[in-house]
Structure 1
Amino acid sequence: MKKVEDYADRMITFSKRKGGIFKKMNEFVAMCNVEVAILVFSQAGKAYTFAYPSMDEVAARLKNPWGQELVVKDDTVPLVEAYKKRRIQDHMIKMEALDEELAQDLEKLKLLKKSRKEKKVGKMWWNIPQEGLSMKEAQRRHRALVELHDNLREMFISLSGNGGASSSSAGSWGCDHSSGDESG
């Protein structure tokens, strides 16, 4: 047997083997009616336990195998509490750092969206400068703008509830497109 060198493979192996050991311990308890406790620490320092009937009972049995009353004071509780407190503080620090990182990432995302929107608006075909356009492209653009203008005028008239609008109200929106001059 040798150490698994790849970190991801090692974590997968740890998870599978840990589950296998716990399963065997469970079978051992069921078949032999024994008290058992196993404690495994991951590479990250996280503790995994399996115990029957409970970790406290097995630990008490280990300290006092013959069931005699011990007068010795148990000093492990303050150590365990200190360890838990330190782990909680470590997690809080990590959580605060992640929270700050998330806030920064959200701000970056907001700026990226704004920048992308500005670039998108800047790249609209009607915002592209006229210089460098061929006559055909300029005429196509002019026709598209005229069509857009006419559509907007019709929409305005229908939304204003004045289907038979007077020439003065339509004229405020319109311009004479009948000249055939499409040079704009």
Structure 2
Amino acid sequence: MKIVIINYGAGNIQSIKFAIRRLGYEALLSDDPEEIRQADKVIFPGVGEASSAMKKLRASGLDKIIPTLTQPVLGICLGMQLMCHSSEEGQTEGLGIFDADVVRFSNRVKVPQIGWNQISNLKTPLFQGVGEKKHIYLVHSYYAPLTKETIAESEYDVKYSAALGKDNFYGTQFHPEKSSKVGQRILGNFLEM
């Protein structure tokens, strides 16, 4: 199986690579559109700030490639947020895959949210074998509100989308590669789709 992690200079790439290796697979880092198109599974990571990450995607033309992919694609953290219509962070226009606009947490809570939180209302095979209220690891100041594409919820000041899913596209606000056995199970589920 060919697994490609999109390498656009805004990712937590090594920890994802190690998590995939622990599952018995190898992943390739690439920004080559042909290589990405030919992959069986694509992981779209992201750490950092939305507008600068989108600039990097546009500069490489990957903003045009990602929405056209037909194999399973998993966006992680900022990767998931960039798959939405827009983000308040830097007034950024996203890829428009998910029908959501990413917003900032209110000043009522400490931002960013860092640490472990529970997920619930789990849907789709991405969460097969994962029980309700399991803990996952998050680091974020912005979130996607609940939508018809929400496949897992979490709560921090408000209920929000911990994961989104539409067709062959999935996104997790949390970091499965840093979420212990639960995250390993979710990554494994994605790779076995």
TM-score in same-fold range (> 0.5): no
**Which has more strand, going by share of residues?**
2
- RCO (CA 8 Å, sep 6+): is it higher in 1 or 2? 2
**Which has more helix, going by share of residues?**
1
